[in-house]
Structure 1
């Protein structure tokens, strides 16, 4: 480890800066030789200023073909800015017939000239730039805010990695308490960042944990952890308390590639994350994989989710059948969901609460969530169920769930499901406020609803047995 840190110390951050409001990161020769994807050429500038070229990394994504999986190579680039920047993206594989920049809710308009599109940004954003409807060879463009409080590479409490590729012993960097791990822009770390039983740890920077590393960032049995700005395949939290994950990006391509799992943890806060996953984007579970207990106070806000397989959001599957867990005070606020692709009906639902193992899920808020036209799945799925493949008992119940300002625009959603298990294992008190589907507000007093229809029929929701207290309102 001392040798690795010593090498990192002598490497300085390599970036070009213009008026301290636009920072782009050079790629070292080892990265250029092994990680470049030439599908796009990307450059940025302050309005009217000098263009700065970005390095385009190759990243792997998972395309489901029938019931099989095919790994595709997409692109990723990043930079930091404040104020306003102009971006130009050139397709090196032919003309651009049409393009879109997602999330669509951002309303970013582009101009196309030949094989180049250009657009302007005035706020940091994690984007997907898609050419000619190709979502598997797209450009993931991460426009970060300007980095603040960069740690001193000579501080003994800082584990500092400068630009270039860094190997770590056994592909695992074990981080002690009271340390800061810093990955400078232009850094690639070929090893998991592993926290286990520690406290007061920061993982910061603009660098990359190599995408081939599963569970690239793992926070286990730890307290007071802050992860900010970096990229990895996955960012896991288990058995922990007081975890903050800000502006972290994950893209996975392998089996069981959940993006940001939470297991048996409390006070976990996500802000501004981007997750594209080859399984569920984000989950909240109780007891699982040696982590014991329920979950309380988990919030994800201002984020973007893209499930190439599985659920964008899933709550409740795993727990402790012998000593039931409670999953409570869970909040998902201001989120864009770009996709779901799941053929198995048991695992559909962009917004899913599926409790098993005697779990009780309660006090759950979904607010200001925009769901784009996903490829295959359901808008929501709430079930108290017994999935014998993964559970040893049915769930205990789902209570007090609010869906506020949920908007779906598209034509591919299957019938959504809300269903309890039996009279002792119910779903209780589910409120929809300002639910909008393809521009239509769905509520109990809506015009055009026949008196003999349930409001849920207008939303294409099936409400089954052992469900009570469902209402559709406008405010």
Structure 2
């Protein structure tokens, strides 16, 4: 018999009432109600979508009703690659789940007031709250808990290595909004914990942030610039399992860091510059099994940015759902050390991705798979493999350019080389033509291979058939069917 692990919702949490959700283990009689959190999406016209989460083992049955809808006539469950079909009638939707999934449930073709359903595996890595090495903050489902971060950090620093701070179910506020986490620390957000504030890891190492709770930043102003999690000159950091709701800046900010693992997180944003995971001057980074719906780039990889100045290399993004209400699902190369010799961005791999949306109206920022080398940057040894792109509103499949963007680049990039695309599918229509072009004879694109590109169910046999234009400063461009 399977198991459902549902989580309480503290009073004061901002919920969305568009959906009512019940879940049970397959074969059981009793249903459990699952709450929907409000997540704001799309910076151009901010709207309120829903996010619900629970964990299960074996198999689960989900029942969804839409109280405000008179009639359900269509239900889309995405990503399509999940292969999950909804059964529905005019009033009710039913899903059968046999594995952990992160889904968008879109009723009557509605993508902006949709339900993001996060059905995870039951995790057994909860720390022991009564341990002598743990600061246990139990929380309260009826009232707010306020934590003085200076005191928390001071307590942690007096503990031996292996220390932990544990946030239990309830609505928690961090005094002065931010907690700077010391080295050799575990931070645990239990399911049902909603923490208003941000975590900062600065010149620290050996840190794990995990659990099933939420970081909630929807009430902070855009130009306050808060990130959900900032890793600045960090090393050996792992972030896993949590939900990041509406930070005004990046969801996960990685600068000047190494050996960073991001796994099984969900993130939502609705502001300009509220990217998902941004990686600047960092090495040995993995982003895996995440659902990122952002109103700027979902994943961006740069060289020099602010006070970080180094190359970026050995980066893998895999098994993720990327949804860009604005800008790029993936982009490499915009920022670098233009005052000197630029940076090298290399050994980067995107694999097993579902791109659910690309919706950008400015021509300079198009491309589901974009390499825009500026600021003297050299981008090389990049692989895109097993990328499934669903119908999007406006954008390009790929955009490979050495360029000078006047808004960001004082000088053009150095060059782009050794780029591989393999097993790419696009099922939509009306895309802007893709392009591969250099800047001039000294700043070129070379050695680009595209293998097994399928558009609208048909394998492309030529660049023209694939809708890819090449410029005069691009060479060794190959399409293999």
Q: Give the TM-score normalised by the residue count of structure 2.
A: 0.89
SS at match of 2:46: strand
- Which runs of 5 or more residues in structure 1 are unaligned? 1-18, 64-68, 444-454
In structure 1, distance between residues paired with 2:458 and 2:449: 17
Q: Is the 8 A contact 1:211 1:252 kept in 2?
A: no
Q: 1:228 aligns with which of 208, 218, 240?
A: 240
The alignment of Structure 1 onto Structure 2 pairs a total of residues equal to 437
Aligned counterparts, 1:56-75, within 5 A: 56-62=36-42, 69-75=44-50
4+ residue stretches of structure 1 with deviation over 3 A?
A: none
* Residues 1:55 and 2:61 are matched in the alignment: no
Aligned counterparts, 1:160-171, within 5 A: 160-171=166-177
In structure 2, distance between residues paired with 1:358 and 1:183: 42
In structure 1, distance between residues paired with 2:294 and 2:10: 28
- Which runs of 5 or more residues in structure 2 are unaligned? 135-162, 221-225
Equivalent position of 1:365 in the other structure: 383
Once the 2 structures are TM-superposed, how far is the Cα of residue 20 of structure 1 from its aligned partner?
Answer: 6.9
* Residues 1:456 and 2:463 are matched in the alignment: yes
In structure 1, distance between residues paired with 2:66 and 2:319: 29
Q: 1:83 aligns with which of 35, 38, 58?
A: 58
In structure 2, distance between residues paired with 1:55 and 1:151: 25
SS at match of 1:29: coil
Q: 2:3 aligns with which of 12, 18, 21?
A: 21
Q: Is the 8 A contact 1:211 1:251 kept in 2?
A: no
Q: 1:132 aligns with which of 94, 108, 112?
A: 108
Once the 2 structures are TM-superposed, how far is the Cα of residue 79 of structure 1 from its aligned partner?
Answer: 0.6
In structure 2, distance between residues paired with 1:236 and 1:158: 22
* Residues 1:467 and 2:443 are matched in the alignment: no
* Residues 1:378 and 2:390 are matched in the alignment: no
* Residues 1:149 and 2:166 are matched in the alignment: no
In structure 1, distance between residues paired with 2:465 and 2:328: 24
In structure 2, distance between residues paired with 1:186 and 1:343: 38
* Residues 1:253 and 2:262 are matched in the alignment: no
Once the 2 structures are TM-superposed, how far is the Cα of residue 29 of structure 1 from its aligned partner?
Answer: 2.5
Q: Is the 8 A contact 2:2 2:58 kept in 1?
A: no
* Residues 1:435 and 2:453 are matched in the alignment: yes
In structure 1, distance between residues paired with 2:275 and 2:15: 25
In structure 1, distance between residues paired with 2:189 and 2:363: 41
Q: Is the 8 A contact 2:417 2:447 kept in 1?
A: yes
Q: Is the 8 A contact 1:229 1:246 kept in 2?
A: yes
* Residues 1:219 and 2:231 are matched in the alignment: yes
> Aligned-pair RMSD on alpha carbons?
1.1
In structure 2, distance between residues paired with 1:305 and 1:412: 20
In structure 2, distance between residues paired with 1:376 and 1:61: 17
Equivalent position of 1:30 in the other structure: 12
Q: Give the TM-score normalised by the residue count of structure 1.
A: 0.90
Once the 2 structures are TM-superposed, how far is the Cα of residue 36 of structure 1 from its aligned partner?
Answer: 1.6
